[in-house]
Structures are given as structure tokens and as C-alpha cells.
Structure 1
Amino acid sequence: MRKFIRIIVAASLVAGFAGGALADPYPVAVFSGLDKTTARVTKFSAEIGKPTRFGALEVTVRACDKKPPEEQPRTTAYVEIRQINEEKNEVIQAPIFKGWMFAENPGLNALEHPVYDVWLNTCKTSSGPASSGNR
């Protein structure tokens, strides 16, 4: 019986790694940002490794990935967000947010700032308009 259980566990692990692996990384992440002072939500794109400005924030994406359409949705991005001192126009060195964001659960790990909220929408292959095509 134990041997049978080991075979089932091994087979499910192999199937999980083969079928459940994430696709190739996407080069662009699409975010929504809320400016609480104006109550405006803005969509913006950020290319991996290139700092992108949203209000007084600098958003840098380190990785962005999502599963193919035939699998259960899962879109993730590893993001660093730093605040910009607007008076001196310089970036504060320590990130105010550093971690994974999940598009399917935006409340789980989004940036909540006194003035701005930022959450992940999707990953895509090109840096065209934020509302345009995904992979």
C-alpha cells in the first residue's frame, strides 16, 4: 500500500511540474493606481527593470508572469515601489513596498499608501497602451 501511495504522489508531483509551470515571463506589467486626493484611477504600464513614475511613486517591476489561458488564472509580479521627494525631485532609497502582487487577489498584497493605492492588473508582451492586448 505504501508503494502505491508513493507512486501516486510521485506521479502527481511530476504532472504538477510539467503542466503547472508558469509560462515564459512577460516583459510588461499593467497596474491600476488610485490617487486618493483626486479620486482618479489611472492605468499604467511598467517594463521590467525600468522605473515608471505614478504620482510621487517610482514603480519598478522585477518579474511579471501569468499562466496560459487554458490553466487556472494566476498573474503575479514582483514589484519595488519607492517614494519620490517632489520638493527635491529625488527618490527615497528604501522601498515603501517590495514584494509580490497578485492580479486575481488585488487586496491581498497591493500598495496601500496615504495618498496612493497601486495594484496589478495583468502582464503583457508589449509596452503599448495599458488597456491594449495581453498575450
Structure 2
Amino acid sequence: MIRAVLAVLVLLSGPAAVLAQSTQQTRAQSGLGVLLRGLDKVNGETVDVEIPWGGTLDVFGLSVTAEDCRYPAENPTGDAFALLGIKDRVSGEDVFHGWMVASSPALNALDHNRYDVWVLRCMIS
């Protein structure tokens, strides 16, 4: 009985140890800015823009502020995630503030009737 309990404890601690080790190895670094793609849903026009960290740029009818962009340290072209603030220039209303993930743009997406913006990657040089 004691051997069975010990065997179960060893099996359960194995995945936790591997998870803890992989978490320690994955580190994120901040980029110099973010590369975004904007879409005007009415006419189908797209534009790619680079916004430096802390900068604000107009993308169609939106004013986009890049607050931070992070990426995996061991894979700079990997899964970027950016902290963005987006304001509608016409109404002056804040339409988005939060983290967007490059590999999952629908996870936390901008909800605007005409425009769409998503993260492509961080600027690293």
C-alpha cells in the first residue's frame, strides 16, 4: 500500500517538475516597438505600420498607442504580444486597451465596426 502511494506521488510530481522547469526557461523580452497590420473593412485596404514603444500613430480612423511589446527571448520572431491603447479619432472614444497576441488575434481583439488592427511581431532592431 505504501509503495502504491509513493509510486502515485512520484508520477504526479514528474509533470509538475517538467512544467516548472519549462516555465523557468521561457523568458520574455521587451521589443523596441510593435509591427501592426490595420484593415479598413469597408474598402479592404490594409496597411502595415511600425510604432515605437510609447509612440502613437494614426491607422486609418484609429489612433494607436504602443505601450509595450514582448517576445520569447529564445525566439525573437516567435509569438509576440503587445499592450495597445486604441482610440477612435472621430468619436474620441477609447475602443481598446489591453494585450493582443500575434498568434491568436481573436483572443483579445479590437471590436470596431469599420477597422481592425492586429499584432504581427515586435520590432527588435
What are the equivalent positions in structure 2 for 1:1-135 lying under 5 Å apart? Answer: 1=6, 4=10, 8=14, 11-22=17-28, 24-67=29-72, 68-69=74-75, 73-85=78-90, 92=92, 94-126=93-125
Aligned-partner residue type, residue 110 of structure 2: L
* CA RMSD between the two structures: 2.5
1:30 Cα deviation from its structure 2 partner: 0.6
Structure 1: which 5+ runs fail to align? 86-90, 127-135
> What whole-Å deviation, never above 9, does each CA across 1:67-104 have from its counterpart, x for those lacking one?
1339xx4211111101112xxxxx82x52101111111
After TM superposition, the score normalised by the length of structure 2 is 0.78
**Structure 2: stretches of 5+ with no match in the other structure:** 1-5
Question: Identity rate of aligned residues, in percent?
Answer: 26
Which residue identity is paired with 1:50?
Answer: G
Specify the code of the residue in structure 2 equivalent to 1:121. Answer: L
Give the secondary-structure state (helix, strand or coil) at the position aligned to 1:38: coil
Contact conserved, 1:32 with 1:44, CA < 8 A, in 2?
Answer: yes
Q: Which amino acid aligns with 2:38?
A: G
Q: Which has the larger radius of gyration?
A: 2
Work out the number of aligned pairs and report it: 118
Cα drift, residue 51 of structure 1: 1.0
Amino acid at match of 1:33: G
Q: Which is richer in helix?
A: 2
Rounded Cα–Cα distance in structure 2 between residues aligned with 1:62 and 1:95? 15
How far apart are the structure 2 equivalents of 1:10 and 1:111? 35
Q: Is the 8 A contact 1:110 1:120 kept in 2?
A: no
